[in-house]
Structure 1
Amino acid sequence: MVRQLDILAAAARRQAGLVSRRQLLAYGITKRQIETRTRRGEWHRVTTGVYDLRAGSESVDRFDHARLRSAWTGLLATDPHGIAAGACALALLGAWGLPTSLRPEVCLPGAMHTPGAAGVTVRRFSKPLELVELHGRRLASPVTALIQAVPEWPRDVVVAVLDSALNRGLIAAVDLERIRTGVRGRRGAAQLHPWWPLVDGRAGSPVETKARLQCLDAGLPPPRLQVPILDATGWPMAFADLGWLRTDGIWVVVEIDGRSIHTRPEALFRDRARQNAIAQAGGYLLLRFTAKDVRERRIANEVAHALRR
């Protein structure tokens, strides 16, 4: 029994802390044992057929954990036939910039009249889906998942997720046209028309995308992304997230520090050396911001002031 629980705990850690009733029974846990542990509060019933073993998770970031938990809830509630769909498929595939809170959603073969477990959305589809497999589970392909999800999101999320999908290699540039074609006729597709030209796979993070969009909203010229910082020999020694060339030949460059990366000790030393190198290079005015600055929409005003100087 101890070995069974250890194996289940390991499986749960791979599944955002969750297991399905089917998995419990397959590992020899009886229905009575499931009921007893749930009644005692050792396990928690998330929805029909899904249990939280309180085994922790391999995910570190709490927002990533919440998204993955939603994705796994849908899959495990429809175990073994569920297919992760929309934003949940994208979360499992590692896309960035997704909404903080996701509703579990799946596709089921022949699911035209299947209501799904409490809190789980079952998507309908009339023709075969393009699928990929991850750890033995079926997911909507990145292109299919984006077609399902983007008409439902606001602009900043749409652009950030598409940027990250390109940057992380989940889709290629040619796939954008497939996604545009695929969303036609769907509710919310009309709002997407002015947003497609804003997508840029060079963006290194969602906060970079949001900062760029805020600057455009403020009427600033479109920035250059990944601006090379050249040393005295003309060799790139760093790349800034965003940059604008002033009329006096000075580059106003912006660096945005993501909290999870740039607060690590080794990153602080690297960032300090990088900032010093940029200051000594000449020809660059460096502005550094944090994710909090993006949330509070401070960046555009400071960039505008630097461009006027």
Structure 2
Amino acid sequence: MARPLPTLPPRLLRLAAAQEGLLTIAQCDMYGVDRGRRERLVAAGVLRRVARGICDTRRDTIADRLTAREYDHVRLWKVWLGQLLAGPGAVAVGEAALVVAGVHGIPWEFTPEVAYLDGRYGRSSEHLMVRQVDLGDRHLVRNGLRYTEPERALAQAVPRLDRRTAIAVLDSARHRRVVDARGLDRARELARGRRGSMRSAPWWDESVEGAESVLESLARLDCIDAGVPPDELQVEVFAPDGTLLGRGDMGFRLADGRLLVVEIDGAGVHSELAALFRDRSRQNDLVALGGVMILRFTWKEVRAPGTVGGAVRKVVHPP
């Protein structure tokens, strides 16, 4: 008779689910999963060693999640890995803190950073960077993760990022109400004097509230860099009888009086057949007005600098 595969206790599985699938050896010991049992679980493929003292209960790898475009889970997985490696008293800072706060746009390749509440030094590794930074007079906790306040995290992260990424992150922080106008001003002030602050100083003014996704931010910047800034974001188009036909990501008023609408097909929404048909029906209604042109771009096209801006420029300023 075949021997049943070893399993993890339900309470330990619930804990792992709250930590993006990760567990420390100490947590395993606490729930009765000793070294010998862990070895059997690893041999059975129930656990995978991902760093010293850390195991992963998820069977899909980071490469699998990237293929499935589960970028948010990859980012959070990295933050949890860093926090568990750092141990008690660690607070996520910089890009890691922004991930915890729910800000979008941080590249998945980032290395999570922490600082300790007591200011002590710690050892960095390939999975973790320990910083000596000012945590201010407070920190926050979300879903079990400690993180520095978003204003301070923005001040730490923006000067280190490239322009497109930094502005997309700022747009996301505003759109998701992670910071308000006053918080953005405070973050900009906290960034002064940091390495990269002179280079990144103009980027704070390039951020807007109207961008509802990272892809929209990147497309807007591409158009600005091509010399064709949008006249309106989240532009609404109405039928002659006043019926709302749709809303585009960006609108451009053409010299002949027509409206150019740019739409970004983001990940997820347009993968369903029904959504595609709804979009096609809406597009036909818009084009039937006669005074509306539509350009649509995929997420891959938006990620390639110059693609969106170049296409829009040809319409706005035809040769």
Amino-acid identity (%): 36
Q: Distance in 2 between matches of 1:188 and 1:305?
A: 35
| Partner of residue 27, structure 1 | 31
| Partner of residue 110, structure 1 | 118
Are 1:300 and 2:309 counterparts? yes
Q: Distance in 1 between matches of 2:309 and 2:134?
A: 45
Candidates 5, 9, 30, aligned match of 1:5: 9
Residue 176 of structure 1: CA displacement? 1.3
| Partner of residue 145, structure 1 | 153
Q: Distance in 1 between matches of 2:309 and 2:126?
A: 43
1:116-135 alignment to 2 at 5 Å? Answer: 116=124, 119-126=127-134, 128-135=136-143
Structure 1 contact 278–284 (Cα < 8 Å) conserved = yes
Residue 241 of structure 1: CA displacement? 0.6
Q: Secondary structure at the match of 1:174?
A: helix
Q: Secondary structure at the match of 1:69?
A: helix
Structure 1 contact 165–201 (Cα < 8 Å) conserved = no
Residue 3 of structure 1: CA displacement? 7.7
- Deviation per residue, 1:247-293 (Å, 9 max, x gap): 22111110010132211223212212221221233421111111122
Runs (5+) with no aligned partner, structure 1: none
Structure 2 contact 91–114 (Cα < 8 Å) conserved = yes
Deviates more, 1:195-204 or 1:61-70: 61-70
Q: Secondary structure at the match of 1:293?
A: helix
1:60-139 alignment to 2 at 5 Å? Answer: 61-116=69-124, 119-126=127-134, 128-139=136-147
TM-score, scaled to structure 1: 0.89
Q: Say how many residue pairs are matched.
A: 308
- Deviation per residue, 1:37-96 (Å, 9 max, x gap): 447764233223321123569x87332232111101111112332222221222223221
Structure 2 contact 90–114 (Cα < 8 Å) conserved = yes
TM-score, scaled to structure 2: 0.87
Q: Secondary structure at the match of 1:259?
A: coil
Residue 2 of structure 1: CA displacement? 7.1
Q: Distance in 1 between matches of 2:271 and 2:134?
A: 47
Q: Secondary structure at the match of 1:80?
A: coil
Are 1:43 and 2:52 counterparts? no
Structure 1 contact 130–144 (Cα < 8 Å) conserved = no
The alignment yields a C-alpha RMSD, in angstroms, of 2.5
